[in-house]
A and B are shown apart, each in its own frame.
Chain A
């Protein structure tokens, strides 16, 4: 089951590298849908597994391997950890909307942190962080919404839920 989600996540990750948004550098983060689904329907370790697979395979498939992977791996992991934490702590109060937003913000913040420490060693790049942070909230809510719709649809079918929990 986890493998299926991993495949879905990687596919979404590759797909979205072809989707250009009008704002430079911003991507929707569709693959996060796969990770969040995992978190909600299976468990945290499975989500981590999917995250690592995604962070390694997507750069492999879209090129510019080392730079992308060195940024994607830590940030995807950080996003997953943040989402996992908020899932466990606030599941009762929240929906995938806010968890997606938190994950996206964690993702972008870690990206900037990595770039600052590995590539461009100047505080100046943090100037851009608020803009990306703002858009990441939007995209995070969007992916969260998609996740919510999917989960709601799946939950309507009791048999489906039971098959995930095996």
Chain B
């Protein structure tokens, strides 16, 4: 099988595409959001725990970010995803249809009148 050139091309293209999107992170003002199925609510960055699903899921929030602290979903992937701190960080718990995400938006104004 001497077809490896084309192979390498395809694999390189796929890797490049994923790396490109990985590096394509936003910057700007951070906002933490909690997504529960189709509702998205902003979460203030302050030290507290959010208890959901009758105590089966605990999300720890700090001034820096948030993480899934406890969850009784089978693989505990959401816990292993760790802290959501930087722009674009996301932790997802599919069985509980929950996600926490740090979204960043560049200021699109020069000053605020208040």
Residues of A within 8 A of B (CB): 24-25, 63-64, 67, 71, 90, 92-95, 97-98, 101-102, 105, 115, 119-122, 124-125, 127-131, 133-134, 137, 141, 148, 152
Contacts and interface: CB of A to CB of B under 8 A. Distances in A.
Given A64-B74, A120-B99, A125-B99, 13 more contacts: A93-B6, A94-B3, A94-B6, A95-B3, A97-B4, A102-B10, A120-B98, A122-B38, A127-B90, A129-B21, A133-B21, A134-B19, A152-B1
* Residue among A63, A115, A120, A131 with most chain B CB within 10 A: A120
Contacts of B89: 127
Interface in B10-26: 10-11, 14-15, 17-22, 24
A121 B94 CA distance: 11
Contact of A125 (B4, B11, B14, B90): B90
Interface of B: 1, 3-4, 6-7, 10-11, 14-15, 17-22, 24, 33, 35, 37-38, 40, 74-75, 77, 80-82, 88-90, 92, 94-95, 97-99, 101, 103
A71 B97 CA distance: 13
A77 B63 CA distance: 43
Contact of A120 (B17, B24, B80, B94): B94
A34 to B, nearest CB: 20
A101 B20 CA distance: 17
Nearest to B90: A127
Nearest to A111: B94
Dominant SS at the A interface?
A: helix
Contacts of B21: 129-130, 133
Nearest to B78: A24
Contact of A67 (B10, B33, B38, B95): B95
A32 B81 CA distance: 25
A119 B101 contact: no
Contacts of A134: 15, 18-19, 22
Contacts of A98: 6-7, 10-11
Contacts of A129: 21
A97 B3 CA distance: 10
Given A125-B90, A127-B89, A133 B3 contact: no
Given A97-B11, A127-B101, A130-B18, A122 B35 contact: yes
B101 to A, nearest CB: 4
B37 A101 contact: no
A63 B74 contact: yes
Contacts of B17: 133
